[in-house]
Structure 1
Amino acid sequence: MSSRLNPQDQQRVDSYLESPIHQVPRRPFKVWILLALVAGSVLVLGLLSRMLGQLVVA
């Protein structure tokens, strides 16, 4: 996709975005932690629904 800005304006935008204030240090994304959180929440909610179902049926 080509830019609609003229080269001088595009250079200003690039230098603005590359300034240190816009460089936020981030930790690497850890897929396994996200997967564990999703699996744990599904497990806890599943157990909770089974317990509530047994309370209602019994």
Structure 2
Amino acid sequence: MTSRLNPEDQRRVDEYLSAPQHQVERRPFRPWLLLLLVVAVTVGLGLLSRLLSGLVL
């Protein structure tokens, strides 16, 4: 994809993106861990709601 910026603006954008604070190493995204976390939170909140309803009713 070609840039719609003029060359001077593109150079400034490239300099900004190549600065050290924008070069952070990130761990790879793990969708199964996210799914496990969502399921665990959902089950935990469901159990908590059943416990609270048992105490109230």
Q: Per the shorter chain, which TM-score range?
A: 0.7 to 0.9
Give the unaligned 5+ runs of structure 2: none
Tell me what 2:42 maps to. 42
CA RMSD of aligned residues (A): 2.0
Q: What is the TM-score of this pair, normalised by structure 2?
A: 0.74
Deviates more, 1:13-22 or 1:45-54: 13-22
Tell me what 2:32 maps to. 32
Q: How much does 1:26 deviate? A: 0.6
Q: What is the TM-score of this pair, normalised by structure 1?
A: 0.73
Deviates more, 1:7-16 or 1:47-56: 7-16
Report the identity percentage.
59
Aligned length: 56
Q: Greater Rg, structure 1 or structure 2?
A: 1
Give the unaligned 5+ runs of structure 1: none
